[in-house]
Amino acid sequence: MHVMQPTPKIITIIGLVLEGIGVLSLGLFAILIRFVENIPGYDSMLNDMSVEDLEIFEWMMGFLNTFLLVMVIILIPIFIINLILFTKLINGSFNEKQAKKVYLYQAIWGGLNIISNTVTGILYLISGVQGYNGRVDRINTREGI
């Protein structure tokens, strides 16, 4: 069985937490945009707009609502897959060959994720590359301390 080194383990855990917070926040924001008409003061804001501005605003809100919904639909399954794979990796459920494949996936997902969630992408990229290359944490201690 593969034993994950402490540094990539900590980085992966932090990445999972941040990715979960990001997906949850995106979902909540998508819900908020969907029900924006219920926000107090919304009607008075619309009354102050010209007809052209109102049309553009309604188109932008519709587009934003659709875009966020698509992103949530895509990112929730990916987060669940990451949660399962990376938790198994952290717990040592994979052999060396399987762990190398998960590290490769983690590095690739980190590289792609830099576009939308920079911090999580960098964390996954670092952890994936370190694990894939077999980097071993070495703690230098002086004797006699």
Residue-wise pLDDT tens digits, 84-136: 999 999 999 999 999 999 999 999 999 999 988 899 999 999 999 988 888 77
What are the pLDDT digits (tens) for 11-43?
Answer: 999 999 999 999 999 999 998 888 877 777 777
Please state the domain count of the chain.
1
At residue 117, the 3 state secondary structure works out as coil
Could you tell me if residue 28 is inside a domain?
A: yes
Residue 98: what pLDDT? 93
Higher pLDDT, 54 or 74: 74
Could you tell me if residue 143 is inside a domain?
A: no
Q: How confident is the model at residue 143 (pLDDT cuts 50, 70, 90)?
A: low
Could you tell me if residue 142 is inside a domain?
A: no
Residue 145: what pLDDT? 57
Residue 103: what pLDDT? 92
DSSP secondary structure of 72-116: HHHHHHHHHHHHHHHHHHHHT-S-HHHHHHHHHHHHHHHHHHTTT
CB 2 within 8 A of CB 96: yes
| pTM recorded for the entire structure | 0.81
The two counts, helices (H) then strands (E), for the chain are 5, 0
Could you tell me if residue 66 is inside a domain?
A: yes
Lowest-confidence segment of 23-27, 46-50, 136-140 by average pLDDT: 136-140
Domain that includes residue 62, residue range: 6-132
